[in-house]
Structures are given as C-alpha cells and as structure tokens.
Amino acid sequence: MTGWQGNDGGQGGWNPQSFGPDPGTNKYGTDPYVNQYGSDPYSDPYAQADPYAQHQQPGYQTGGFPAQGYPPPGGFPGQGYPPPPPPKRSKLPMILSLVAIVIIVGAVVAIVLVNRDDGQAAAPQDPSTSESTTESGPTSESTESSTSNAPPTTGGTTHDDWLTIDNTADAGLTYQVPPDWKEAPTSRQSGLDVEFTGDADYGLYDCGGGSYVRTFAASGDVQGKDGKDLDLPATLGDFATSFATTYYGSDAKVDMPAPTETTVSGKTAMTVTAKVTQTVTKPECQASSGEIALVGVLLESDGQPSGVAMLVVVNDLEGGPADPKPLDASVSQEILKTVSAG
C-alpha cells in the first residue's frame, strides 16, 4: 500500500483488454558570365555607329586654302578651270576610335575575368564531391518538404544500461527504465477499473507509518465500451486525470495541456504530461507536486481501430523527504521515448 490516497470508485466505461504483439540545378544560380551587366559582357558596351561616320567632315570650301596649280587666293576660280578635288579625309580619327574600342573591350573582359576568379575563390568546390553535392541537393530538399509536416517520432530509443520491461503480453508495449529502478510483479490501479501491469519503481520509502514511492511506470490497454472506437486525446486526458487523483488525492489540482501527436513503431500515437499539485497533510512524507506522463498508441486489428495501449509514468517533483530525492522531470520523458509497440 502506497502513502498516496486513491479513489475507491472509478468512472468506469473502460473495458480492459490484453493485446499481444501488434496484430540539378546550378548551385550558383544563372551563369555568372552571362548578362552580368545587363548584356553580353564580351560585346562592346559602348556599341554605336562610328561617330565619325555620322556626318561629313567639317565643311570645307574650295578656294579656302592655297592649292598647287590654282590661282592665288583672293577670288573664285576663273572660267575654264575644273573644280578642285575634295580634300582627303584623315584616317587618324578612325584609327584612334578603333584603338579606344579595343581598349574598352579589353577592360570589360578583364573585369569579367577578375569577377569570375573572385567568385571561384569565395566558393571553392571540392571536385571529388561536386557531383554528389549537385545531385543530392534536390533530393534533400524534397525529403525535407515531404517530412516537415509529419509528427515527430516517439519511441524506439534504447539505452544499453537501462532495464527493459517487456509487457507485450498484457499491453503490447515494451519500454525501458533507468538501471537503479526495480521491476515489480505488482499491478497499478488507474482509477478507471483498468489495471496497469509491467510495473517498475524508483525510490521506495517508509514514512509516518506509511509506504511511499517516488516514481513508478506501468502499462495497460483499453477498449471502447461495446466495441466503439476510442478518441485518443480524450482517452489520454481521462487516464492522466484519473492517475493524478488516485495517487495524489481526490482534491489534487491537475494542469492538463493538449496532447501532442507522435508515432510509435509506425503507429499513430500521442503524448501528454499533466502537472499535479497535492494538498499536503504530512509535508515530511508527501510530495507537494508531481506529474503524470502518458503515451498512448492507437491499436488496430484487421485495419480497424481496436483500442489504445498506454504507458504511464507517475513522478514526484517536489516535497517529501530529502532521501530519496525526487527525479528530474526529464527522466519521465526519456522513459516515454523508449516505448515500442508490438
């Protein structure tokens, strides 16, 4: 008999049932050498028609300069003289223009090469891994997007030095507890006419003429009345509340959060951890607060829901004797992570 007071009655409505094993792309974006400046960097950014071909050379008038074989300045050519030939255009402006164009194109090419070298230096790539990196990029992105909305997986974590509790015969669950715990052949009352077995305890002590335990874990399964399907969140809430009032007193205050979706051994599951505040009458013996941590796994038979298997951890958090002291709340969560179904 533990030192916690329990409910003699129960809400009923749950039928215990024993279950056996669960029946390409370029990582640098577009080509950095194309359209980097808005156009092809190897074409002339200043490309225009030759400015010297847009108009005639400045207007020259015949007779403006002395010409050999023609009358001296001071008048227009006399009759009988043929018109003088037009002056030859100088090729120097065209040559200078071509030289300037060559210099400009050379400067643009030099800028592009420098930028390319800087980009390669800033993002070195190991030739031995370049192919695998390129191919794995889309695959990783696709995997992440496809699993981002999936619930986290709880269960299956193993500890080499922990004690394994195999309760597949009664509840269809296996789980682990820390090595300083002790497996017990007893059963735990849930307060809802359902016994939980596969018990393991930590911190047994006697105080004030009563027997107490700091923490225990146990598992069981339930089926809906008249074979009806069970609502998993409601089932967890009902059993968490019942365990709290059974082991911390009928007037205990229970803070119940919404259950969290998860999966256990590929099966739909949920977890919930309720905080409990107890009305203490023997402060030297009783815990002032505790928690009820539960994981519930939806069971199926021939593809149809057939019940819920649950693992519960009832754990003191504060109050009571200094020895044995309460365990940290993280221990309960670690135990829930070890559960596997089937």
pLDDT in tens, 231-272: 999 999 999 999 999 999 999 999 999 999 999 999 999 999
> In which domain, by residue range, is 223 found?
15-22+153-341
pLDDT of residue 158: 87
Mind listing the pLDDT tens digit for each residue in 117-172? 555 444 444 444 444 443 433 343 444 444 445 555 656 788 999 999 999 999 99
Task: Evaluate whether residue 296 is within a structural domain.
Answer: yes
pLDDT of residue 11: 39
Q: Are 192 and 242 in contact, with CB atoms under 8 Å apart?
A: yes
The total domain count for the chain is 2
Is the predicted pLDDT of residue 314 greater than 80, yes or no? Answer: yes
Q: Do 288 and 227 sit in the same domain of this protein?
A: yes
Mind listing the pLDDT tens digit for each residue in 105-117? 676 666 656 565 5
Q: What is the number of alpha carbons within 13 Å of residue 38 lying toward its C-beta?
A: 3
Q: Do 116 and 162 sit in the same domain of this protein?
A: no
pLDDT of residue 150: 54
Task: Evaluate whether residue 78 is within a structural domain.
Answer: yes
Q: Which two tokens mark 158?
A: 């193993």
How many whole angstroms separate alpha carbon 26 and alpha carbon 212? 66
Distances in whole angstroms, Cα of residue 241 to Cα of each of 17, 208, 253:
21, 27, 9
- List the one residue out of 116, 308, 96, 290 whose CA is nearest residue 221: 308
Task: Evaluate whether residue 132 is within a structural domain.
Answer: no
Which residue, 100, 122, 144, sits at the end of a domain?
122
Q: Do 59 and 193 sit in the same domain of this protein?
A: no
Higher-pLDDT residue of 97 and 161 is 161
Q: Do 229 and 105 sit in the same domain of this protein?
A: no
Indicate the pTM of the whole model: 0.58
Chain-centroid distance of CA 276 in Å reads 32
Q: Do 69 and 211 sit in the same domain of this protein?
A: no
Q: Do 263 and 320 sit in the same domain of this protein?
A: yes
